[in-house]
Amino acid sequence: EAGVTQFPSHSVIEKGQTVTLRCDPISGHDNLYWYRRVMGKEIKFLLHFVKESKQDESGMPNNRFLAERTGGTYSTLKVQPAELEDSGVYFCASSPYRGLPYEQYFGPGTRLTVT
Amino acid sequence: QKEVEQNSGPLSVPEGAIASLNCTYSDRVSQSFFWYRQYSGKSPELIMSIYSNGDKEDGRFTAQLNKASQYVSLLIRDSQPSDSATYLCAVKWKDTGRRALTFGSGTRLQVQP
């Protein structure tokens, strides 16, 4: 079974530009989460989808961040316009709806560098 | 004060020894606890979950939970150099409808051959 995949693995953009990150969850997982780790800090929650619906957006830092999950499959996270403080590693995770819904499986992350 | 606290380490143990990793959490209603292992530049890999007080064993790994004292620990028996990684503690709080995990900053483990 394929794990969570993320694209790109690394992105370098200039301040003010737009970047879109993509996450493909484990097949059949209804729950999809975005987290990020900025330099020297712990991993922090951004938001949670159940299928195509946003269940919890409490961790989104501001309105420059837009997450979508059209069709309840893959998800995108767009940062527009990017700021220097957005640099970090963005992780996606997924979990099944039933069984052990609280166990989350992480992807390899996208390292975002804003210059 | 952080909600989930871990000693950043590094914790250095000789090969074959028991590595003991600790995590404390704030006075907030908690539900479940997770240990992730992360190699440099790789994804956090779930290795243990624990929901109730006591010990849970899986191979060389044992998770211990003590809700009264607000700590959760991970023991690694017969430590191997391949166990060298950062170990992340994560907590799911018992907030209705929320599944967000709160992470500690991680403890770096070094197993010396």
pLDDT digit string, tens, across residues A1-31? 689 999 999 999 999 999 999 999 999 999 9
User: Which residues in chain B touch residue A51, judged by CB atoms under 8 angstroms apart?
Assistant: none
Tokens of A113: 């560098």
Contact A58 B31 (CB under 8 A): no
Report yes or no: B19 and B79 within 8 Å, Cβ to Cβ. yes
Give A24→chain B minimum CA distance, Å. 14
Q: Among B79, B43, B81, B38, which residue's Cα sits nearest to residue B60? A: B79
Q: Among B103, B4, B89, which residue's Cα sits nearest to residue A37? A: B103
A39 at interface of B, judged by CB pairs closer than 8 A: no
A79 at interface of B, judged by CB pairs closer than 8 A: no
B2 at interface of A, judged by CB pairs closer than 8 A: yes
Q: What is the pLDDT of residues B85-103, one digit of tens each?
A: 999 999 998 876 788 999 9
Q: Measure the CA–CA gap between A60 and A47, rounded to whole angstroms.
A: 6
Tokens of B24: 């404390």
Give the pLDDT band of residue A51 (cuts 50, 70, 90). very high
- Best probe of the B interface among A23, A42, A47, by most B CBs < 10 A, is A42
Report yes or no: B98 and B84 within 8 Å, Cβ to Cβ. no
Sign of the Cα pseudo-torsion (B94, B99, B104, B108, in order): positive
Q: Which residue has the higher pLDDT, A44 or B31?
A: A44
Q: What is the pLDDT of residues B43-71, one digit of tens each?
A: 999 999 999 999 999 999 999 999 999 99
Q: Among A19, A8, A22, A23, which residue's Cα sits nearest to residue A94? A: A23
Contact B100 A106 (CB under 8 A): no
The CA distances from residue B107 to B7, B12, B23, B40, B88, in Å, are: 6, 11, 9, 13, 7
Report yes or no: B11 and B74 within 8 Å, Cβ to Cβ. no
DSSP class of residue B60? T
